[in-house]
Each structure stands twice: as structure tokens, then as C-alpha cells.
């Protein structure tokens, strides 16, 4: 029997970046517990990464893969989740859409 790996199709990939002071880690962890563990079906995958960022404290990255038909809903959901953390003093975040290299090349050749 031959197993075939099926590649899942994603819509937009968002990169979520956040920063917060080291001494706010407990507050962030408490809020993190409020975030639903099961995401809506249009969030296909949410990978988390983190590192120390010198004087800025801790820096987190999230790669969020979305359903191609529900990109707007996914963007709203991501913003709602991240806004939970704004009560932590010194916590900042941003969301950026990521483009694949083929899409970047299309943008470069776009004539307006």
C-alpha cells in the first residue's frame, strides 16, 4: 500500500509578533489561560515561538494559517485574541500578512 501525503491548502498566513517585559510573564500566562484551546475551523494552525529580546523583554511570534475562504474572519479573530493582552502594561503586538515568494514576485511586476 502506498501512502499519499495530501498538502493542506491555506489561505493567508499571518505573523503575530508580541513583546512584553520579563516581569510581566505571570500576568501574560494568566491571560493565556483564558484563550480558547480550540480555535474556530477557519484557523487551520497557530504555531507559537518565543525568544528573549534584550531590554524589550520577551518576544513572541505566532504563525497563523487560515482557511482561504475565511481570511477576514481569521484576521478579526486574531485581533480579538491579541486584544485580551492589552491590559498588561508594556505589552505590544502587531499582525502582518505574509506573502509567498511567488506572490511577492507578482507584486513586483504589478503595473498600476
What are 17's strand-pairing partners?
61, 94
Q: Which among 22, 83, 82, 32 has a CA at the least distance from the CA of 53? A: 22
Q: Does residue 17 lie in a domain region? A: yes
- The C-alpha atoms of residue 73 and residue 92 are separated, in whole angstroms, by 22
pTM: 0.81
Q: Does residue 5 lie in a domain region? A: no
Q: Does residue 77 lie in a domain region? A: yes
Q: Does residue 78 lie in a domain region? A: yes
Tell me the per-residue pLDDT of 19-56, one tens digit each, with 9 for 90 and over: 999 999 999 999 999 998 899 999 999 999 999 999 88
Q: What is the CATH number of the domain that holds 60?
A: 3.30.70.1150
Q: Does residue 83 lie in a domain region? A: yes
Amino acid at each position: 500500500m502506498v501512502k499519499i501525503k495530501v498538502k493542506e491548502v491555506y489561505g493567508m498566513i499571518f505573523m503575530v509578533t508580541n513583546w512584553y517585559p520579563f516581569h510581566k510573564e505571570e500576568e501574560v500566562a494568566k491571560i493565556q489561560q483564558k484563550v480558547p484551546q480550540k480555535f474556530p475551523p477557519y484557523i487551520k494552525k497557530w504555531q507559537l515561538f518565543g525568544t528573549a529580546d534584550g531590554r524589550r523583554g520577551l518576544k513572541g511570534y505566532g504563525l497563523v494559517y487560515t482557511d482561504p475562504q475565511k481570511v477576514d474572519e481569521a484576521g478579526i479573530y486574531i485581533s480579538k485574541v491579541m486584544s485580551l493582552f492589552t491590559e498588561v502594561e508594556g505589552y505590544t503586538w502587531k499582525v502582518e500578512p505574509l506573502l509567498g515568494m511567488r506572490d511577492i514576485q507578482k507584486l513586483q511586476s504589478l503595473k498600476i
